[in-house]
Structure 1
Amino acid sequence: MSSPNPQRAKIHFPPAYPTLTCPSLILFGTIEASSTSDWATNLTNHLSDLPIQILNPRRDDWDSSWVEDASFPPFKEQVEWEMHFPAEVGLIVIFFKAGSLCPVSLIELGMYASVRPGETVVCCEEGFWKKGNVDVVCKKFGVEVVRTVGELERCVRGRMVGLCGYRDEEKGEW
């Protein structure tokens, strides 16, 4: 008997440390000032009907005057939050937007590509300044790479549908 799940995605932001009780993912990558062009918000909206938990490190209360130093408590809290969840989630998503730098996301790719390659998905747009490096690292460790946000949305949705245990997404069967 099929029964669609009425639950919707739950989104978590720092500094909260939620207990993960269902399939989950964490978002790393380019942070955009505008929410209308924010890939993470758009991806979250694309997944909103699934019974999953999404961890988004973006902080609306981030203050650009914060010192990026381990001795500065708000900064340290943010970095520790970002390092805590990748070991717990079912999927790590990393996005490299053309024209952006995102050096911290390059570090995150390096941290997780070798230890969680099957649970990591990367979108690296044409024109990202270190695209060659991203491609070589992903190929070496077997990390799936897509080239567009649309491909990323389809890929991540498919992975999360599988983690949710759907047999047939269109019918909503479990």
Structure 2
Amino acid sequence: MVFTSETALPIKESDQRYIFLAGSMASKQTINWRNQVVNSLRNSYQFLDPTKEHRDTLNATQMKTHVEWELDAMAMADIVLLNFLPKALSPISLVELGLYVNTNKLYVVCPKAFYKSSYVVTLCERYHTPTFTTLHKAIDTLT
């Protein structure tokens, strides 16, 4: 099941594992990487998807509610899968990296083409955070 910020977070049950799908927003020209993860891992996990298509039009109250949902969802997740797309700037994703790099729940996908890849990889190495150059390799690890 996929939970979004349009719905309340579920009550976490001990037999359920949750993945928070952090990372770059897919553009209209790219494949939706979040759907790839959900389709590949649907039998093993529940998903927390922060995607908000019209996030730039939210008023201050709506944005606060959305950000708080994201923070609560990341905290409840067993795994935070953070995917940097090659051509994205991803400022929020870089913040999420900083929040979770020193935990045991973060898995990072960072292709060499991402403009801050050397920074991301160095930070992840420092804190022994698993890093992958492709989404496929991360999915294989989480299977």
TM-score (norm 2): 0.90
2:137 is matched with 151
Aligned partner of residue 142 in structure 1, secondary structure? coil
Gaps of 5+ in 2: none
Aligned 1:79-98 pairs, distance under 5 A: 79-98=67-86
Does 2:45 align with 1:57?
no
Gaps of 5+ in 1: 1-9, 158-174
Q: 1:31 aligns with which of 7, 11, 25?
A: 25
Does 2:31 align with 1:12?
no
Question: Taking structure 1 as reference, are residues 104 and 47 closer, same or farther at Cα in structure 2, changes over 3 Å only?
Answer: same
2:109 is matched with 123
Q: 1:141 aligns with which of 99, 106, 127?
A: 127
Q: Percent identity?
A: 23
Aligned partner of residue 56 in structure 2, secondary structure? coil
Offset from partner CA, 1:16-43 (integer Å, 9 cap, x none): 2221221111010011143970111111
User: Matches of 1:33 and 1:99 in 2, distance apart?
Assistant: 10
1:162 is matched with none
User: Matches of 1:149 and 1:113 in 2, distance apart?
Assistant: 18
1:3 is matched with none
User: Matches of 1:82 and 1:134 in 2, distance apart?
Assistant: 21
For residue 89 of structure 1, report the CA deviation from its aligned partner.
Answer: 1.5
Question: Taking structure 1 as reference, are residues 141 and 111 closer, same or farther at Cα in structure 2, changes over 3 Å only?
Answer: same
Aligned partner of residue 59 in structure 1, secondary structure? coil
Number of residue pairs aligned between Structure 1 and Structure 2: 140
Offset from partner CA, 1:66-106 (integer Å, 9 cap, x none): 35xxxx11111111111112222211110011111101000
Larger radius of gyration: 1
Aligned partner of residue 155 in structure 1, secondary structure? helix
Contact in 1 for aligned 2:55/2:63 (Cα 8 Å): no
RMSD: 1.7
For residue 13 of structure 1, report the CA deviation from its aligned partner.
Answer: 0.4
For residue 48 of structure 1, report the CA deviation from its aligned partner.
Answer: 1.7
After TM superposition, what 4+ stretches of structure 1 lie above 3 angstroms from structure 2?
33-36
TM-score (norm 1): 0.75
